[in-house]
Amino acid sequence: MVKKAFFALVANGVRAAPLWESKKQGFVGMLTITDFINILTRYYKSPMVQIYELEEHKIETWRELYLQETFKPLVHISPGASIFEAVHSLIKNKIHRLPVIDPVSGNALYILTHKRILKFLQLFVCEMPMPAFMKQTLEDLSVGTYANIAFIHPDTPLITALSIFTHRRVSALPVVDHNGKVVDIYSKFDVINLAAEKTYNNLDVTVTEALRHRSQYFEGVMKCNKLETLETIVDRIVQAEVHRLVVVDEESRIVGIVSLSDILQALVLTPAGEQYIVVIIIMNVVVVTLCWRS
């Protein structure tokens, strides 16, 4: 059942899990918090009206309904693939998790994430000559998103925030006051609290009210400015163990967002000239090495 599956994510403190289909004897997809959000936005009607589809649907039924026009096979990688291949696959397919599956046994060995890869890269970069572009600023490198930024206000209804997640395909929404200052952030991971506390039948509450029930794993609003170097940004995001930094001006007004995906793309897929060689040497490390060392 869909409901039990999401409760299992909560109980195990994870954001996603591979889906095994017994008929095919293989993994066919990933169950993520995004699925939970999609179910809520599709079937929510009004406060305190029970969402029967969440209570009664089987995962298979939900996949058939939701993916009937957009079905894609599970994107995965083998343990012998390089980290470069892993990053390329994550960014090309616009996914946040990449299962590492043994081609012989078919077993899921690990799940790679942007966060884990960036932490690994930071450790290895310290052992090699630092590429010159690491000393350049976000502004110089054009790293991040600075136009048409998705954000919400403290009084935004929760159902509106969930709809923005769905339509804008973003993983977090800065909470901005009416002066444009960043005061909080509401991420997809915060949404899982609705399952944990069984409060998903009233999505007309404000984001501020929802954030009062935030879990102890809240990452905090980490900020930066466009004049900071890529080296500083990487260090901050790895040490804070967050998934993005909100770019602000001197008045703490929102300017943009720098995500893990933006940083990995800058580090791995778009370095300039001979500096690319330094990164490629690191990226040729096989996936299984990363999984064992991190």
pLDDT on residue 278: 47
Beta carbons of 47 and 204 less than 8 angstroms apart: yes
Look up the domain containing 255 and give its range. Answer: 132-269
pLDDT on residue 293: 46
- Quick one: how far is CA 14 from the chain centroid? 12
Provide the CATH number for the domain around residue 183. Answer: 3.10.580.10
pLDDT on residue 274: 42
Q: Which of 78, 96, 124 lies at the terminal end of a domain, its last residue?
A: 124
| Same domain for 9 and 95 | yes
Parts of the chain with a pLDDT under 70:
1-3, 46-71, 125-128, 215-220, 271-294
Number of domains observed in the structure of the chain: 2
Distance CA(72)–CA(63), nearest Å, equals 11
Beta carbons of 264 and 114 less than 8 angstroms apart: yes
pLDDT on residue 232: 95
Residue 94's Cβ-count burial label (10 Å; 0-12, 13-18, 19+) is exposed
| Same domain for 176 and 86 | no
pLDDT on residue 151: 97
pLDDT on residue 107: 87
Beta carbons of 114 and 261 less than 8 angstroms apart: yes
pLDDT on residue 61: 64
| Same domain for 260 and 193 | yes
Distance CA(200)–CA(101), nearest Å, equals 34
pLDDT on residue 3: 66
pLDDT in tens, 81-94: 888 889 889 988 98
Distance CA(22)–CA(34), nearest Å, equals 23
| Same domain for 222 and 151 | yes
| Same domain for 31 and 14 | yes
| Same domain for 25 and 141 | no
| Same domain for 189 and 86 | no
Instruction: Provide the residue count of the chain.
Output: 294
| Same domain for 118 and 48 | yes
pLDDT on residue 272: 43
